Structure 1
Amino acid sequence: MSLTSDRNTQYKHANAIPVAVAAGVKIFAGAIVCANATGFATPGATATTLTYLGRAEELVDNTGAADGARTILVRRSEAFKWANSTLDPVTQAEFGKTVYIVDDETVAKTSGTGTRSPAGRVVGIDTDGVWIE
Structure 2
Amino acid sequence: MTVLAQDRNTQRRDGILVALLVITNDIIYGGSLVAVNAAGYALPGGDTAGLIFQGVADGRADNTGGADGAKSVIVRRRGEFRFASASNLTQANVGDAVFLEDDQTVALAGDVDQDIYCGVITEVVGANDCWVDITPALQQTDVATHIADVAGAHAATAISLADAGELTAQATVEAAIAELLATRPVLIADPGDAGAIPVTRSGNVAITTGAAGETRTLAIPGAAGIELAISHDVDDGGDCVITVAEAVNETGNNTITLDDAGETIVLTAVQVAGALVWRVTGNDGATLSTVGG
Return the TM-score normalized by structure 1. 0.83
Which residue of 2 is the match for residue 117 of structure 1? 116
Deviations 1:63-116 (A, max 9, x none): 21111110001112111111111xx22433332221111111001112536334
Structure 1's 20 and 113: CA in aligned 2 closer, same or farther, altered over 3 A?
closer
Q: 1:1-133 residue pairs with structure 2 within 5 A?
A: 10-85=11-86, 88-112=87-111, 114-127=113-126, 129-133=129-133
Equivalents in 1 of 2:39, 2:89: separation in Å? 29
Structure 1's 92 and 55: CA in aligned 2 closer, same or farther, altered over 3 A?
same
Q: Max radius of gyration: which structure?
A: 2
Letter in 2 for 1:105: Q
Q: Is this contact kept in 1: 2:80–2:132, CA < 8 A? A: yes
In structure 2, the gaps of 5 or more residues are: 134-293
Q: Is this contact kept in 2: 1:100–1:109, CA < 8 A? A: yes
Q: Is this contact kept in 1: 2:55–2:77, CA < 8 A? A: yes
Equivalents in 1 of 2:116, 2:92: separation in Å? 20
Name the SS of the counterpart of 1:132 in structure 2. Answer: strand
Structure 1's 6 and 81: CA in aligned 2 closer, same or farther, altered over 3 A?
farther
- The Cα shift of 1:17 comes to 0.9
Structure 1's 48 and 118: CA in aligned 2 closer, same or farther, altered over 3 A?
farther
Question: Comparing both chains, which one has the higher relative contact order based on Cα–Cα distances under 8 Å and sequence gaps of 6 or more?
Answer: 1
In structure 1, the gaps of 5 or more residues are: none
Q: Is this contact kept in 2: 1:47–1:116, CA < 8 A? A: no
Name the SS of the counterpart of 2:15 in structure 1. Answer: coil
- In terms of fraction of residues, the more helix-rich structure is 2
Deviations 1:41-77 (A, max 9, x none): 1111121322222211111111211111100011121
Q: Is this contact kept in 1: 2:98–2:106, CA < 8 A? A: yes
Equivalents in 1 of 2:17, 2:66: separation in Å? 23
Structure 1's 108 and 62: CA in aligned 2 closer, same or farther, altered over 3 A?
same
Count of aligned positions: 130
Q: Is this contact kept in 1: 2:100–2:118, CA < 8 A? A: yes
Letter in 2 for 1:115: Q
Equivalents in 1 of 2:75, 2:125: separation in Å? 24
Q: Is this contact kept in 1: 2:17–2:77, CA < 8 A? A: yes
Equivalents in 1 of 2:5, 2:75: separation in Å? 36
Structure 1's 113 and 82: CA in aligned 2 closer, same or farther, altered over 3 A?
closer
Q: Is this contact kept in 2: 1:100–1:111, CA < 8 A? A: no
